[in-house]
Amino acid sequence: MGILNISRNSFYDGGKYNSLNAAINHTQKMINEGALFIDIGVASSKPGSKLITPENENKLLIPYLTALIKEFPETYFSIDTYNSLVAEVSLDMGVSMINDISGGILDPRILKIVGAHEVPYVMMHMRGIPKNMQKKIHYNNIIEEITFFFNSQLKKAKLAGVRDIILDPGFGFGKSKKHNFTILKNLDHFRFLNCPILMGISRKSMIYKTLGVDAKQALNGTTALHAWGLNFGARILRVHDVKQAKECIDLWGELQ
């Protein structure tokens, strides 16, 4: 899954693709490199960022989505949103997946919208909201608490008619660096939930802070952890760097 951040405030590539030409060119590059999905986000979810209203999100998103669907009619697009109105408009335009960082908590109606459209849904775990999530990082047992969250939200999603659910443990969303590595070490625990696992660690602080570099220098570390994640249950990699992730997947596949 290739990341297309249209927001100016994203932690790594904010502002690089917030023109139509830049967004189209980067999408073409990711498709050429092997992306199966393009995940479009217009609202930054980095720590400290504020929630965006659905009206403002749609105002930013619709021109890009219209142009991208026209330019790449055979491509599967995902929308990174927690707003049900944004999900509804996007799905009516032909989007193939919804990626919800709140797992249906911030706007529970999103589950009914996804269920009615019968598309895949990425359910991510996050404690709090982006503005305050890094102030809510105490867990008695992080693996058990994420599992409880998934079990609870899976029941709600299935009652709403959502059938194709992908789980994302939410690396960096209301977690410390230690928590993130604990999740990674125990990633295969979530297999018993019988849903594909999405891994979203691309260039995140758990990597660059450990290595003493910045996000721009975190590609090698990202690739190393992708290999670990694939070996312990990850089935979708959400990435900034499609070429390197695809190579990692191909090499891992030869070992199976």
Q: Tens digits of per-residue pLDDT, 174-217? A: 999 999 999 999 999 999 999 999 999 999 999 999 999 999 99
Given 46, 175, 204, 246, which residue is catalytic? 204
CA nearest 234: which of 205, 193, 200?
200
Question: Structural domain tally of the chain?
Answer: 1
Q: Summarize the confidence of residues 33-53 as an average pLDDT.
A: 87
The CATH number for 237's domain is: 3.20.20.20
Is the per-residue pLDDT at 25 higher than 70? Answer: yes
Q: Summarize the confidence of residues 28-39 as an average pLDDT.
A: 98
Instruction: Read off the pLDDT band of 15 (50, 70, 90).
Output: low
Average pLDDT score, the chain: 94
* 50 compared with 55, residue with greater pLDDT: 55
What is the Cβ-side half-sphere exposure of residue 248, based on CA atoms within 13 angstroms?
Answer: 25
Instruction: Read off the pLDDT band of 10 (50, 70, 90).
Output: low
| 123: helix, strand or coil | strand
Q: In sequence order, which residues have a C-beta less than 8 Å from that of residue 25 and are 6 or more positions away?
A: none
155 labelled catalytic = no
Is the per-residue pLDDT at 162 higher than 90? Answer: yes
Q: Tens digits of per-residue pLDDT, 133-145? A: 677 688 999 999 9
- Domain span at residue 175 reads 2-254
Exposure pattern of 210-227 as b/e (b: 16+ CB <10 Å)?
eeeeebeebbebbbebbe
Q: What's the predicted TM-score (pTM) here?
A: 0.93
Could you please report the per-residue DSSP string of 35-79?
-SEEEEE-S--STTPPP--HHHHHHHHHHHHHHHHHH-TTSEEEE
Strand order in the sheet with 197-199: 2-5, 37-41, 76-80, 97-100, 121-124, 165-168, 197-199, 234-237
Helical (H) or strand (E) element with 20: helix 20-33
204 labelled catalytic = yes
* Residue in the block written with tokens 């969250």: 149
Amino acid 19 reads: S
Q: Tens digits of per-residue pLDDT, 74-98? A: 999 999 999 999 999 999 999 999 9
Given 235, 238, 243, 246, which residue is catalytic? 238
How far, in Å, CA of 51 to CA of 157, rounded? Answer: 23
Is the per-residue pLDDT at 107 higher than 70? Answer: yes
